[in-house]
Structure 1
């Protein structure tokens, strides 16, 4: 990870203790393009309070799936880090396999833990049984991104942006008539089949109930048909997700539907245009009935038995998910910090001054679970669905009833 000169100076100034006095905490996290700048902000503040601890950054995970696979491999090889960031929907498998440690012994030693910003609704995201295993670090929801100069070519301004998927398709047609070659990108390929779950939760329908994959329902067919309508109606290019973000930042796309997590990255990379974010469209004028909570959580996976090393790992885990550490998530990305102190106190005026990052906050009442596919084949099920959705984009699948049956059979076999 690269630090700015200022940050590096602060780090060096705050770490006067000799190397042999330091406790090293190894840390793994995903999405360097989103979070490197976040940790550049957090590290100097942490070192100021903990000069005897050194945070050693592991190579970043390419995605949440890559992060989970990496931890599963490292558990077998005996090379686990001390703390890892995992997608909210990937915590359960690490708990079930005994890789993640309960945080209850550490929480029990904290005075007034809830007053530091945590509250039950947020702790529940990382609670399994009666124990907290993960502290949420960042929360995201899907939103619409709009290049207002491009949208203006088709007669759109902030007052008449699309609110339904049929209106999105209509806008694509108008933009093409106005000479826009690639009007829209819809993030079907975002991690964890997140946008499929967004269409399911939009109908207030979970994607998984127990061990049953719910794509074989009327809501599942509606989700697939909606995707087909969007992809074909907008003649959407099958862009790799990083290429899609780069294309929007360069000013080539009029509309992009993606996680709010990328707002900070887009703002840092965007060309000379006006960025507006708006609520995620719905299937009808009533809007979505729910949306899946994206984001990640910090888990302790250290194999150390040294109390001092475990306490150091806890100090880092607690710092990045509480108060000031969590606030830096919002300042540097588009994620919302799942911490009451960060949102209500430290960031009191932040969202008023950063409206592009405020859209997801307005959608918080829609927040639903980002579901994982249960069992050891959960990651394989994710890939099967990914391949099926890509087949809609490329035109390989045109009969959504047939695709519904095929995906249901394959995924249900994996879940058994």
Structure 2
């Protein structure tokens, strides 16, 4: 890479707005306005702060963030439509799992001409597993901005109501399930546990499978591998944990129920830690722990996101690159930590005692989660245009298993069959 560690940890731009539009150049003197689409309106404040601080250091460039959906999937579909109609922004903030789709369709542009190549990205402190998730045909198409990992939220007040001591958090799936069962026995108005089984890309299944050392596909990407013993064990864990839930809910309903103090154990994403902690502060003691990683080759699966470059104009690409590297640097990572529950991805920043002190001051529940970052992979996406269909089938399978409508072995066999047909 032609930038030094120091220069990549410094740089920036952004502001916030409304609907997807073709990028416009607003020149007052030499000022250029870039547009970046996103699918996360709830983080408008963070994006606005990111933009203000970047423009403060780069007054010749402004960035307008344009909401184009309320999640990564809707954003992706709107991006495809924009590509067909010639109505693309200069770039997008998107899930890294879609790097291949955006590159293969010729929508995103490689950043190698600016970064100096894939081999240089780790030098400037970025997480290696996240870097690998941006690579398509040996070229990188995004600079990661942040990630999240699964966590286990515990309502200590409900756990204590079972009469057991919980000085230490559970270290195994069996212990988590047992605690959930005890809380469920407190009464019909209380649910023992909930797992966000409907998460995008079957993320929870990928994570439980990962903690057991399993894989979604073989190394050659020619056949599924989730139907191995680890896959059956993963579905078995989900089925047992599902028995701790006295009533099924949507993810949003379950989050609200946990925040209201009526669920004992909630398995979800670290990105919601701030909102959960705020809700719990006046009601119950909250503790947050990682998913158990019990297998020797086990790992957690993150859900990384980053900024992609769409514009083909060299001058606009250079300005967009300046913003992208600002977001991945120390200043951008501090803004991410301040406004969201997402985890920073800059390992240099995370190894800086001063940064960590400031980071944990605003994210005290992240201590155990951050320790897992160097050993986590990024979520898997099937190498086919049918990936979305496969993931929808997997989500429906998880629902049936968790709600006891299908037993794990039969569900896994059928899931593998359907996936193979769509690959």
- Let me know the Cα RMSD of the aligned residues: 2.8
Aligned position for 1:202: 211
Equivalent residues of 1:204, 1:290 under 8 A apart: yes
TM-superposed CA distance for 1:150, in Å, is 2.4
Aligned position for 1:336: 343
Q: Which runs of 4+ in 1 moved over 6 A?
A: 112-115
* Structure 2: stretches of 5+ with no match in the other structure: 1-13, 17-25
Q: Distance in 1 between matches of 2:27 and 2:112?
A: 32
TM-superposed CA distance for 1:381, in Å, is 0.9
| Residues 1:381 and 2:390 aligned together | yes
Equivalent residues of 2:32, 2:61 under 8 A apart: yes
TM-superposed CA distance for 1:103, in Å, is 0.4
Aligned position for 1:172: 180
* Structure 1: stretches of 5+ with no match in the other structure: 1-9
TM-superposed CA distance for 1:365, in Å, is 4.6
| Deviations, residues 70-99 of structure 1 (Å, cap 9, x unaligned) | 222221222222121222222111112221
Equivalent residues of 1:221, 1:401 under 8 A apart: yes
Q: Distance in 2 between matches of 1:288 and 1:246?
A: 35
Q: Distance in 2 between matches of 1:220 and 1:119?
A: 27
Q: Distance in 2 between matches of 1:297 and 1:11?
A: 17
> Equivalent of 2:329, from 305, 322, 333?
322
The structure-2 alpha-carbon separation of the partners of 1:287 and 1:349, relative to structure 1 and needing over 3 Å to count, comes to: farther
TM-superposed CA distance for 1:339, in Å, is 0.9
Q: Distance in 2 between matches of 1:334 and 1:156?
A: 30
> Equivalent of 1:262, from 263, 266, 272?
272
| Deviations, residues 295-315 of structure 1 (Å, cap 9, x unaligned) | 21211122x42x332222222
Aligned position for 2:232: 221
TM-superposed CA distance for 1:158, in Å, is 5.2
Aligned position for 1:5: none
Equivalent residues of 1:185, 1:244 under 8 A apart: yes
Q: How many residues align?
A: 393
Q: Distance in 2 between matches of 1:182 and 1:121?
A: 36
Q: Distance in 2 between matches of 1:24 and 1:352?
A: 34
TM-superposed CA distance for 1:65, in Å, is 2.3
Equivalent residues of 1:281, 1:288 under 8 A apart: no
Bigger shift: residues 192-201 or 149-158: 149-158
Aligned position for 2:253: 243
Q: Distance in 1 between matches of 2:102 and 2:41?
A: 22
TM-score (normalised: structure 1): 0.85
TM-superposed CA distance for 1:144, in Å, is 0.9
Aligned position for 1:349: 357
Q: Distance in 2 between matches of 1:324 and 1:388?
A: 42
Bigger shift: residues 96-105 or 52-61: 52-61
> Equivalent of 1:84, from 84, 92, 102?
92
TM-score (normalised: structure 2): 0.84
